[in-house]
Chain A
Amino acid sequence: TQLLEQSPQFLSIQEGENLTVYCNSSSVFSSLQWYRQEPGEGPVLLVTVVTGGEVKKLKRLTFQFGDARKDSSLHITAAQPGDTGLYLCAGLRRGNTDKLIFGTGTRLQVFP
């Protein structure tokens, strides 16, 4: 059972276009993290969102955590070829043990 579903799975766009990646779940998370991963490397943390409704901006990237803390989105403005990579959302569920649960991933390709 995949707890976190990302959409779209693949995205291929031209430089300068805008895009949004969605991360959805039926479960509530205490926090949610977004990572970017390049081939052959480990995921690199981009941002952590904690509060329902929270919006964080990182240059051309805007991250939002849903009010109910079940979903999140990543919006990229004026995409550049350097944005190419695998974008992963990961949720932290509080319980007896804490572990990050990863989404299915969105592979983004930005063409010059």
Chain B
Amino acid sequence: NAGVTQTPKFQVLKTGQSMTLQCAQDMNHEYMSWYRQDPGMGLRLIHYSVGAGITDQGEVPNGYNVSRSTTEDFPLRLLSAAPSQTSVYFCASKSGANVLTFGAGSRLTVL
């Protein structure tokens, strides 16, 4: 009964470093997505996927890459971290009833 699992929970990077935020779901949802949450701005969609092999950009995709090789996994890659990417990141999958299930979040700080 894991739902959506995100790792790591916390990460500190230096400017220019790369890293991958992992996301896995065990509900067989086709739709998966990544959001970032910043104070006063709600959640903004970074990238999403409607199935294995299919990804698309959201509102704020710049500086992030994604891939979807399996139904279960949807990693988010930061190729060259910038201080503006300091945020809390949430992965979510969506059921056929249109309900999003969120992971616990990953807090990223870029120095």
Tell whether A and B belong to one assembly: no
